[in-house]
Structure formats: C-alpha cells, structure tokens
Structure 1
Amino acid sequence: MLKDKQFPYRLYLVTDEAALRGRDLLWMVEEAVKGGVDLVQLREKKLEDEAFLLRALQLKEMLQRYNVPLIINDNLVVAERCAAAGIHVGKSDIPPSLVRKRWPGCGILGYSIEYEAQLDSEEALTSDYIALSPVFSTPTKTDTVTEWKLGGIRRVRATTAKPLVAIGAISRYNAASVVEAGADCLAVVSAICSAEDPQKAAAEIRSEIEKHL
C-alpha cells in the first residue's frame, strides 16, 4: 500500500495491443517512458496467464532501468508472479478488499469507478487511487456507464482527497483542461500507443500536465 497515500505519478500509459498497429510493445513503451511516462499499466484481456506473465516480465525488466513501476490490469495471478508494483481493477473485476487479503504485498492498488456513489464504498476507500473512466468516450473502452467529462472530475475532486486518475480519449489537446478540473494523473492509451512518434506524443502531453499542475 502506498504510504500516506502518496501518488507522485503524472502520466500513466495504459497499453492496448490493437492500438500498436502491429508495432513492438516494448519499443513503444520505452519510447513513451523516454517522453515522460512515469507509470505503466499492462492490459492484456485476451492472453492466457503464461503468455501474459512472460510479457509482464519482459516489460518489467525494461521499466526497471528507468525506475518506472509496472501495474497489471485485472490479473492477480500475473501481478503476484511477476512481482509487479501493483494492480488495477474495476467494478466487475476482483474487488480491492480481496486484493489486499490475497496479496498483502500489493504496492499500488487502483480502482475504476462508474458512479459518484461508489466513492463511499469499501472498495474505493481500500484503493490507493481512483480512476474516472472514461472522462470522454473512447472506442478502446466500450463497456462503461458514465462519461465523466470535466464536470464529473470537478465534482469528484470536491468530494475526495484520493488521487484521481483520468482516462478516456486523453490527448495533448485536452490534457490541460483535465488537469485543471482536478485530475492528479492522466492515463493515456491511443494518443501514445498509436502515435507515429510515441516519445514525442508522451513529451507533449507531459508538457501540458506540468504547465497546469
């Protein structure tokens, strides 16, 4: 668990195999890290555990050179076996309270919420950060309920001191407004994964974040 709820991360890359357009995952992530990504989540919904684990170990080895933590999306077995920095789950995944029981060594536990009422739940309180997903509707995530938009970020920010991660169609064009609305960290998928130059794309978003913190 993060000590004193510290969450120093500002630009959070969430991987998406389809968005890579056939390019190498490790190359893309390393370029993004060079551009300013300081937290990476490996999201692999279609891989079996062994293949997922192998990819996670390869990614973790590379990220360790840059001191960037690896978060595993919704797979406690893989997260534990690769000794990831943490795990991210949603309402339909294993709940944070159960993650804490099964994996006492979890360092960073993220939780996506779909409604403002979930902020008072045991699961939200147990997590280290709250993800608002999606801030803006996106084709990379279709099983969602609420499109939070900027007003939603402001309302949640006024309600909780938890670190807030905003995800969903985030790019350099809206990064400033999302930060100004109250997000502590921006999670990006396509704007980096699909970019011709992932390093440049990450650097541009990171610059917008730093200017408006």
Structure 2
Amino acid sequence: MRGLYLITNDDPFDVLYQKLHIALQSGPIAFIQYRRKQVMPAQQVREIETLLKLCQQYQVPLIINDNLVLARQFACGLHLGQGDGSLIDARAQLGTQAIIGRTCHDSLKLAKQAVAEGASYLAFGAVFPSFTKPNAQRVSMATLQQAKAQFELPICVIGGLTVENSQPLINLNIDLYAVVGDVLNLDMDQVAQRVKAWQALLEN
C-alpha cells in the first residue's frame, strides 16, 4: 500500500475512463477510488462494472467511496468518511481481506479508533486547500509525523496535492498520495506525463 491513489473526478465517464486508462498505462498506481457523487445510482453500477474490468486488467484494486452496498456487490474495497457508516460493520460484511480506508481528518484520536475497528489505511487531510473540498479542515505536518510514528497502518494524505508541493510529505515517508485534480483534471494529453512525474517523485 504505497504510491499514487487516484480518485475519480466528475468528467463525462468516457473521458474519465480514457484518462484512467492512460494513467494506468503510464506508471504504477496503488489504488483507484470511485467517487462520483453527481451520478445516478443505476449509472454508478454501470460505471463501476466498466472500471472494475480496467482495474483488473492492471491488477489495481478499485475502492468504492462511502457505499458499502456497492463495495459488497462488486467485491471491491471501501473508503468510509467519518459520517458514512460503521467501519466494524463494513469489515464484518466485506471480510478480513478487503481494503477499507477511514477518513481521520486531522485527528490522531480518530485514527486510533479506526485502527481498533479494523481499518486497512488511515487517511489524513486536507493537507492543502483543494477545488474538490475547498473548506475541508487542514492537517499539519506535525500531526502526520506523529501518525507515521504512532501507527503501523499505511498513512494516506489527501487535499490539494501536486508534484510540486508534496516533497515535505515524501520526507515524512507517507505511504499513499490521494489525488484528483493534479492528474485527472488535466487535459488528456497531459495525464501520462503527470503520472510519470509522480512516479519520479515517489521513487526519490
């Protein structure tokens, strides 16, 4: 559980699919998370079916955001925000091998609780302001440093991450870098180059 963690944006699905395909071809991706809040449930099912085949082709786990029913239906991983249901219940339903991440915001206390409840990784953020969640509470480098020292689980960071601003996180040996805009909000012909730039940064 290390590397670039791509989270889907709100592009038309055919555009998003092409960008994800390019990204997967361009460098190692740790996870892809399906997060499409503007899409109707029936369409979400069709999109997940299509993305799951793509992810399986590249042997990259697909994580479903906030929807235990869909995660169980497709035998995918799950990411749970603090208000998105019981991690204990999700673990019971998805099994011991499922990848289940938990949002911890800027709180070591929430992270400790997530560890006890069976999380697979701990997500902290926002590190920087982002277009996706411009008003999200921020997490400090000091808290992230404490989290790396305190917990054995992989630490994931999210929020406004770019190749240019993430070196301090590399220095902390953070495990997972959850990114939307810095890859998927770019034009199609820029995606490959950006993924390769992330790969170079993460290999330092």
TM-score by length of 1: 0.86
| 2:136 corresponds to | 144
Q: How much does 1:48 deviate?
A: 3.0
Give structure 1 stretches of 5+ with no counterpart: 1-6
**Aligned equivalent of 1:28, options 13, 19, 30:** 19
Q: How much does 1:87 deviate?
A: 0.5
Contact 1:72 1:78 in 2 (8 A): yes
| 2:197 corresponds to | 204
* 2:57 matches 1:57: no
Change (3 A) 1:32 1:173: same
Which residues of 2 match residues 1-213 of structure 1 at below 5 A? 7=1, 9-17=2-10, 20=11, 24-36=15-27, 37-84=29-76, 86-104=77-95, 107-114=98-105, 115-121=107-113, 123-125=114-116, 126-142=118-134, 144-145=136-137, 147-196=138-187, 197-211=190-204
Change (3 A) 1:65 1:152: same
Change (3 A) 1:177 1:112: same
Contact 2:129 2:135 in 1 (8 A): no
Q: Deviations over 1:64-117 (max 9, x none)?
A: 111111111011111122222x00011011121110123226610100102222
TM-score by length of 2: 0.89
Q: Percent identity?
A: 24
Q: How much does 1:35 deviate?
A: 2.2
Distance 2:203 2:34 in 1: 24
Could you tell which deviates more after superposition, 21-30 or 109-118?
A: 21-30
Distance 2:87 2:13 in 1: 33
The aligned length equals: 199
Ranges of 4+ aligned residues in structure 1 off by more than 4 Å:
none
Alignment RMSD:
1.9
Q: How much does 1:142 deviate?
A: 4.0
Contact 1:49 1:78 in 2 (8 A): no
Q: Deviations over 1:37-87 (max 9, x none)?
A: 231001012323221111011011112111111111011111122222x00
